[in-house]
Structures are given as C-alpha cells and as structure tokens.
C-alpha cells in the first residue's frame, strides 16, 4: 500500500491510500494516522479512491484513528469509497459512525463548513 500526505491548508490534511488496505498494509496507514492524531491535526481526510480492497484490519485502523482524533476534537472524513469498500463499511454497520463524502472536494467543503 502506498500512503502519502498532502496539506490542503493549516487545518486540513489529506491522506491518499493506494492499493489493498488489509492485514499486511494497515500498519503503515495506522502509523501515519496515529501520528497525525498525536500532532492533533484539526481535520484529516482519508482518500480511499485508489483502494481496491479493504478487510477488517483496515476497518479497525480507521476506527482506531477516529477514536484517537475524537479525543482531542479532531475531525476525520472518508472520501472516494468505491462500491467494494463502501460495502465493507456497510457490512460492519459503520456508515453512521464515519463521515463519508463522495469525493475529496466534498470532504474539504464539509470540513470547512463545520469549522465556521
């Protein structure tokens, strides 16, 4: 899995994930997400557009990151889920736990509107 970071502005960081989000690759994403939580980044958008497969360890990583960010009032938004990754989220009944936006632009707009 490829994990890359982009700063949109001082308060929004986008994490682009590419490849399979599974038992073997989730530790890399977990390390990055928990580091951002440790830095108390105000808002993180996780772009899953290029994730072809996600298993329960990917879900666990997302939940752990969400909990870490909630502790300090940070915001986490998922964007760009394809049908397969959305199905995994729905099977775990987490679509109401995570904020999910169709694409990165909508995720950024959501974060900005809630910051006002």
Q: What CATH number does residue 65 fall under?
A: 3.30.750.24
Mean pLDDT of the 32-59 span:
96
In a domain, 107, yes or no: no
Give how many domains the chain has, as a whole number. 1
Q: How many CA atoms lie within 13 A of 105 on its CB side?
A: 0
Q: Is residue 3 part of a domain?
A: no
Q: What is the mean pLDDT of the chain?
A: 95
- To the nearest 10°, report the CA torsion of 110, 14, 43, 96: 60
Helix or strand (DSSP H, E) at 44: strand 43-54
When comparing pLDDT for 116 and 69, which is higher? 69
Q: Is residue 84 part of a domain?
A: yes
- The yes-or-no verdict on residue 114 having pLDDT over 90 is no
Residue 86 belongs to some domain of the structure: yes
Structural domain of residue 52, as residue ranges?
8-102
């Amino acid at each position: 899995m490829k994990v890359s970071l982009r700063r949109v502005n001082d308060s929004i960081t986008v994490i682009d994930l590419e490849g399979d989000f599974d038992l073997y690759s989730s530790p890399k994403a977990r390390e990055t997400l928990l580091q951002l939580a440790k830095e108390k980044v105000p808002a993180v958008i996780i772009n899953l557009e290029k994730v072809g497969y996600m298993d329960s360890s990917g879900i666990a990583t997302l939940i752990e990151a969400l909990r870490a960010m909630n502790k300090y009032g940070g915001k986490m938004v998922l964007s760009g889920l394809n049908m397969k990754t959305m199905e995994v989220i729905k099977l775990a009944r987490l679509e109401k736990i995570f904020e999910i936006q169709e694409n990165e632009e909508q995720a950024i707009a959501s974060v900005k509107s809630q910051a006002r």
